């Protein structure tokens, strides 16, 4: 059976997911090419936690909470940019690119230890040209958390693909309503007529194991659609096309809204190749949008109180079941940790 309907809108479940999943798991932040030079940064938000990654003066990638130690203002606006020093625009406190507090203009006498007021660090690791952060100082290393993604992507030269475009979509449903949709191909005949015509749906396969859901469909001749779609717990996707890939993050905004951040990469990013790539991007984005109506109206029904849960197909919805299993495990481990520490259960 699928998850109980209230898991898709309950504020208590959302708060637990925020802590147990997004506060603990590695999160893709963007391409390493965004940090080509010292001072290059990328700022983003993970379920209410504003964070950024910057290449410091020595060339090291560093991650921080995007929170000034003075009065909690964000230091950087979301998105990419470049800066020599990090200056909070609220009251002008200045940090260096390694996060140390350097100057407090017009503050008056400083009667505290400036060294104790550096930016709050977060963990950063890189895998094959993609940069990830983790808010949990005690989390394990990145690569084991990617599970079988590492082997599955090994044949593709993804670090040689050039980042070309970011597309952001806002969807009015819980992040799991969209994730459930992403990890099954069962809805392709009903929702994606164009994609359905391009693949052999009878041979669509879904497997869930080692933190990954793998979906494969043989392509009919001449299709520009990729043949393999990968989802990695908790909220990253990676789809390989013949000459590039896209990655996405399914980011919860609140219990009823999510944001999808797609990045497109291609092997050949020359101007001549870009017209062809534009078509691939357009087709991909159109397929993404085709799911929005059905996910948003299903969300309404999940909230309406009629539906409790429903049976999952053993053939088509193994990915949905696997996602739910991993999520239940995260929340159960968290309850255990809270109980063990004497904190609120
Ligand atoms: Fe879909």
Query: Are 111 and 212 found together in one domain?
Result: no
For residue 60, the CA-to-ligand 1 centroid distance in Å is 39
Last-in-domain residue among 142, 162, 178: 142
For residue 263, the CA-to-ligand 1 centroid distance in Å is 18
For residue 75, the CA-to-ligand 1 centroid distance in Å is 37
Range(s) of the domain holding residue 115:
27-142
Cβ neighbours for 307, distance < 8 A, ≥ 6 positions apart: 5, 301
Write down the pTM of the prediction.
0.94
pLDDT recorded at residue 333: 87
Q: Is residue 8 part of a domain?
A: no
Query: Are 315 and 176 found together in one domain?
Result: yes
For residue 189, the CA-to-ligand 1 centroid distance in Å is 10
Q: Is residue 130 part of a domain?
A: yes
- Cα separation, 227 vs 266, whole angstroms: 16
pLDDT recorded at residue 338: 59
Answer yes or no: are the C-beta atoms of 107 and 157 closer than 8 Å: no
- Cα separation, 284 vs 279, whole angstroms: 8
Q: Is residue 185 part of a domain?
A: yes
Cβ neighbours for 133, distance < 8 A, ≥ 6 positions apart: 26, 27, 29, 46, 51, 53, 63, 122, 123, 124
Last-in-domain residue among 142, 164, 183: 142
For residue 191, the CA-to-ligand 1 centroid distance in Å is 7
Q: How many domains does one find in the chain?
A: 2
Cβ neighbours for 165, distance < 8 A, ≥ 6 positions apart: 263, 264, 281
For residue 144, the CA-to-ligand 1 centroid distance in Å is 28
Residue 229: phi and psi, rounded to 5, are: -120, 130
Helices then strands, counting H and E runs in the chain, come out as 9, 17
For residue 184, the CA-to-ligand 1 centroid distance in Å is 8
Query: Are 295 and 176 found together in one domain?
Result: yes
Query: Are 242 and 199 found together in one domain?
Result: yes
Q: Is residue 132 part of a domain?
A: yes
* Mean pLDDT, contiguous 10-residue spans, the chain (345 residues): 97 97 98 98 97 97 98 97 96 97 96 97 98 97 97 93 97 98 96 91 93 89 69 96 91 98 96 92 95 98 97 97 98 74 41
Average pLDDT value over all residues in the chain: 94
Cβ neighbours for 145, distance < 8 A, ≥ 6 positions apart: 25, 26, 139, 211
């Amino acid at each position: 059976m699928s998850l109980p309907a209230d898991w898709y809108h309950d504020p208590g479940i959302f708060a637990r997911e925020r802590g147990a999943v997004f506060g603990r798991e590695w999160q893709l932040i963007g391409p390493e090419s965004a940090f080509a030079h010292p001072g290059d940064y990328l700022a983003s938000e993970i379920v209410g936690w504003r964070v950024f990654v910057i290449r410091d003066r020595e060339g090291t990638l560093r991650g921080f909470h995007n929170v000034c130690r003075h009065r909690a203002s964000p230091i950087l606006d979301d998105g990419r940019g470049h800066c020599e020093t990090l200056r909070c625009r609220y009251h002008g406190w200045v940090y260096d690119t390694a996060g140390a507090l350097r100057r407090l203009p017009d503050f008056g006498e400083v009667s505290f230890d400036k060294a104790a007021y550096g930016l709050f660090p977060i963990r950063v690791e890189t895998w094959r040209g993609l940069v990830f952060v983790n808010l949990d100082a005690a989390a394990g290393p990145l690569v084991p958390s990617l599970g079988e993604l590492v082997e599955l992507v090994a044949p593709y030269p993804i670090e040689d693909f050039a980042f070309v475009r970011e597309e952001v979509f806002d969807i009015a449903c819980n992040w799991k309503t969209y994730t459930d949709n992403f990890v099954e191909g069962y809805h392709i005949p009903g929702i994606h007529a164009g994609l359905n015509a391009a693949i052999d749906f009878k041979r669509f396969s879904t497997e869930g194991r080692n933190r990954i859901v793998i979906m494969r469909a043989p392509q009919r001749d001449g299709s520009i659609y990729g043949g393999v779609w990968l989802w990695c717990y908790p909220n990253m996707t990676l789809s390989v096309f013949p000459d590039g890939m896209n990655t996405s993050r399914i980011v919860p905004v609140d219990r009823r809204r999510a944001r999808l951040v797609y990045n497109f990469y291609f092997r050949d990013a020359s101007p001549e190749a870009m017209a062809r790539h534009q078509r691939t991007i357009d087709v991909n984005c159109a397929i993404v949008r085709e799911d929005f109506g059905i996910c948003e109206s299903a969300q309404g029904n999940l909230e309406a109180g009629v539906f409790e849960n429903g049976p999952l197909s053993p053939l088509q919805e193994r990915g949905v079941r696997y996602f739910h299993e991993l999520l239940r495990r995260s929340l159960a481990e968290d309850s255990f940790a809270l109980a063990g520490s004497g904190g609120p259960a």
